[in-house]
Chains A and B, each alone.
Chain A
């Protein structure tokens, strides 16, 4: 028990919480970017614009089917060779997460819109609404209800996946835990326990939020 008390002394806890802060920061920025880009890509693919939608769809499918870890490596080690600029670990992670997650979200958003009955659009159009009016007032409000659970579980994956950025030495939660048990191997079990608890709290809070939104929207 003494090991636990030592492992959880304030210096270590503060260091873990600093890591958690980076995890949250990376997650929030990536969530915002990837939601916006994912929405645009999802809509573009749904709208069936000649060539453009095909190209967007192809890119989305390729990125979705690659491991995120590979995309992180590529952004950090490979991309500087092509672009000639080197990102720091924070931005490399944010860029990699955004690229991967916006592809995942684009697919969720597209299938959410597809799940709305086609008759809805036809009915709205024949009642005199323009395409965008119908989209905004009729289709999207219904689609969003179907999209919220998968979107939030995608965000949960995103938070969990930030742990992969330890490999490019982003100072987030997982990395900070490794630093602590690297100094004293007795701290291994307490650190993994702390990791499990901290990640669980963040992710479970998100899944409660998803359930809350789901209930709220089905009442409306």
Chain B
């Protein structure tokens, strides 16, 4: 395994960079789109609610690979030339946005309306109430699931390997097939994924635990 790092280190780290980059872009993109569709889903207007619902149900129930392949194969053929990295990142964004929409919707629905009313009637301005009352609670509800979505994004970004997206999995496959040291290479690739996902997942578990017991005491 160390041999792989010694000889192909730069290739692996470049893949690591692309994996991280794709996951970050997709996180930001799916946060925006996911929040938008979450707002659709709780909107008082029925057509918007239906659109939100359809979007979420469709993209939650279709494999990421199918969505990504549409952008990799169908879109360049009929619409615009895009490379594997972009196609994969767009696919990841759309797929993840459906899950984030559900997370955000649940988060919004769980904050009590009375909180804002109580803060305002105690003489706080809207901004003060948001800053000191609503946001601290909302963040505690939303951050752990979003962190878990980021972990999923990092893992799911391995579909870029199907699309020549230069990510970690793609580079790993190239190294494995040139050196024939498949076991060692995949161990090295796994280690690099764990560098991102394992600390993230322990941090999220810690935050979840800490914030949920704080809630119990209050």
Contact = CB atoms under 8 A, between A and B. Distances in A.
Given A65-B201, A66-B194, A164 B159 contact: yes
A188 B79 CA distance: 13
7 contacts: A66-B197, A69-B169, A78-B183, A81-B183, A160-B62, A188-B73, A195-B66
B198 A65 contact: yes
B61 A207 contact: yes
A189 interface: yes
Interface of B is mostly: helix
A171 to B, nearest CB: 16
Nearest to B155: A67
Given A62-B198, A192-B74, A204-B57, A67 B193 contact: yes
A199 B61 CA distance: 7
Contacts, number: 107
A61 B77 contact: no
Nearest to A100: B155
A188 B75 CA distance: 10
A66 B74 contact: no
A106 interface: no
Nearest to A76: B182
Interface residues of B, number: 40
A55 to B, nearest CB: 16
Contacts of A145: none
B63 A167 contact: no
A64 interface: yes
Contacts of A170: none
A49 interface: no
A174 interface: yes
Given A67-B156, A167-B161, A192-B70, 5 more contacts: A67-B154, A67-B169, A70-B158, A196-B66, A200-B62
B186 A74 contact: yes
